[in-house]
């Protein structure tokens, strides 16, 4: 068994991250497996080196050890570009020149079902217009979802303990796979990395369950294995809402500063016991 924890260095880790890391770590260690760390630092505008070292210090405080050096997405841009090129050669992606608002959102992990689906504005532009606009206009690359899903055929993934599920990527529309200033979206980078790292079990928050449809499709298109998945409940704060990076009181740095013992906290989280005021909820 090989599991991973993949923080984005755009803020401090909080109790929700700790819960996920503890469960992924313990699953691997319980079977003599491996546990890897990946730094999802593909968003160069928001990633900060100080959050990389802070995240690793938080994990060490929890008593979590990892195998090998942390993998950095920023060191894997060539692999992302090669995969995108392969999909482009097969006619499965196209350039999109629409405004940046929804494109920016593609860089970070989506939470919950995606909102508006891209209407396909740029899907059928004439080749000559594409060539002309690509030379001068910023653009992202979108997956032609209908074509991709048809090529991939029937898709199935397995939620551990619950059996097989059919993946239904069509509902996501033509998702962004790359943009000009960041050569892979969360979906593409995460899928390629998990395969390259040899991840066999993905243990992550239930907010990402919808993304599994897309990841399963990309695995099929790119000839990658589909790992097993476990989507766990989310840690919510005293207000009943899932924790976010703005919830400073729940940051691991705050808890450590308050004198809490990291290893005891990890043992509690492993047994689904949370500090007073916090709870586990399924979205
Ligand atoms: Zn467009």
Percentage of the chain modeled with pLDDT above 90: 84
How far apart CA 116 and CA 114 sit, in angstroms, is 7
Answer whether 0.95 is exceeded by the pTM.
no
Token pair for 223:
């000839």
Q: pLDDT grade, residue 191 (50/70/90)?
A: very high
Ligand 1 centroid distance, CA of 143 (Å): 11
Q: Which residues pair with residue 231 across a beta bridge?
A: 204
Edge-to-edge strands of the sheet including 156-159? 163-166, 156-159, 228-232, 201-205
How far apart CA 224 and CA 104 sit, in angstroms, is 27
How far apart CA 30 and CA 74 sit, in angstroms, is 31
Beta strands in 185-239 (DSSP E): 201-205, 228-232, 234-236
- Count of other CB atoms within 10 angstroms of residue 85: 11
Ligand 1 centroid distance, CA of 177 (Å): 13
Ligand 1 centroid distance, CA of 121 (Å): 5
Ligand 1 centroid distance, CA of 245 (Å): 31
pLDDT at 247: 83
Report whether 212 contacts 229 (CB < 8 A): yes
Ligand 1 centroid distance, CA of 206 (Å): 30
Mean pLDDT of the region 151-160: 97
pLDDT at 110: 61
pLDDT at 113: 46
Ligand 1 centroid distance, CA of 98 (Å): 4
How far apart CA 140 and CA 98 sit, in angstroms, is 8
Ligand 1 centroid distance, CA of 129 (Å): 13
Ligand 1 centroid distance, CA of 185 (Å): 16
Ligand 1 centroid distance, CA of 152 (Å): 23
> What distance separates the 2 farthest-apart alpha carbons in the chain?
64
pLDDT tens readout for residues 202-260: 999 999 999 999 999 999 999 999 999 999 999 999 999 999 877 888 999 999 999 99
Burial class (CB in 10 A: 0-12, 13-18, 19+), 103: buried
Residue 61, SS3? helix
Ligand 1 centroid distance, CA of 112 (Å): 23
Ligand 1 centroid distance, CA of 125 (Å): 9
Ligand 1 centroid distance, CA of 180 (Å): 13
Mean pLDDT of the region 88-106: 80
Ligand 1 centroid distance, CA of 50 (Å): 36
How far apart CA 267 and CA 76 sit, in angstroms, is 34
Ligand 1 centroid distance, CA of 207 (Å): 27
Nearest to 95, CA basis, from 145, 130, 135, 132: 130
pLDDT at 107: 56
Ligand 1 centroid distance, CA of 118 (Å): 8
pLDDT tens readout for residues 105-140: 655 556 544 566 788 889 999 999 999 999 999 899
DSSP result, 218-230:
HHHHTTPPPPEEE
Report whether 266 contacts 66 (CB < 8 A): no
Ligand 1 centroid distance, CA of 147 (Å): 17
* Cα dihedral value 211, 58, 243, 104, nearest 10: -50
């Amino acid at each position: 068994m090989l599991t991973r924890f993949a923080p984005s260095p755009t803020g401090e880790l909080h109790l929700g991250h700790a819960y996920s890391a503890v469960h992924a770590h313990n699953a691997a260690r319980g079977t003599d497996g491996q546990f890897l760390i990946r730094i999802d630092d593909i968003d160069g505008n928001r990633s900060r080196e100080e959050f990389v070292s802070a995240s690793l210090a938080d994990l060490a405080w929890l008593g979590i050890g990892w195998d090998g050096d942390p993998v950095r997405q920023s060191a894997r841009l060539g692999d992302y570009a090669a995969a995108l090129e392969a999909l482009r050669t097969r006619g499965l992606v196209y350039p999109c020149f629409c405004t940046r608002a929804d494109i920016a959102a593609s860089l970070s992990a989506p939470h919950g079902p995606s909102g508006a689906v891209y209407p396909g504005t740029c899907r059928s532009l004439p080749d000559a217009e594409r060539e002309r606009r690509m030379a001068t206009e910023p653009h992202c690359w979108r997956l032609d979802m209908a074509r991709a899903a048809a090529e991939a055929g029937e898709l199935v993934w397995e939620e551990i303990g619950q059996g097989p599920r059919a993946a239904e990527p069509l509902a996501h529309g033509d998702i962004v796979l790359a943009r000009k200033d960041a050569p892979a979206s969360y979906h593409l980078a995460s899928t390629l990395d998990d395969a390259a790292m040899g991840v066999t079990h993905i243990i992550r928050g239930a907010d990402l369950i919808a993304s599994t449809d897309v990841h399963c499709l990309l695995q099929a298109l790119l000839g990658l294995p589909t790992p097993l998945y476990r989507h766990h409940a989310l840690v919510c704060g005293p207000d009943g809402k899932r924790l976010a990076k703005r919830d400073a009181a729940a940051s691991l740095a705050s808890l450590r500063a308050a004198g809490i013992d990291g290893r005891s906290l990890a043992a509690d989280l492993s047994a689904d016991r949370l500090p007073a005021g916090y709870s586990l909820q399924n979205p």
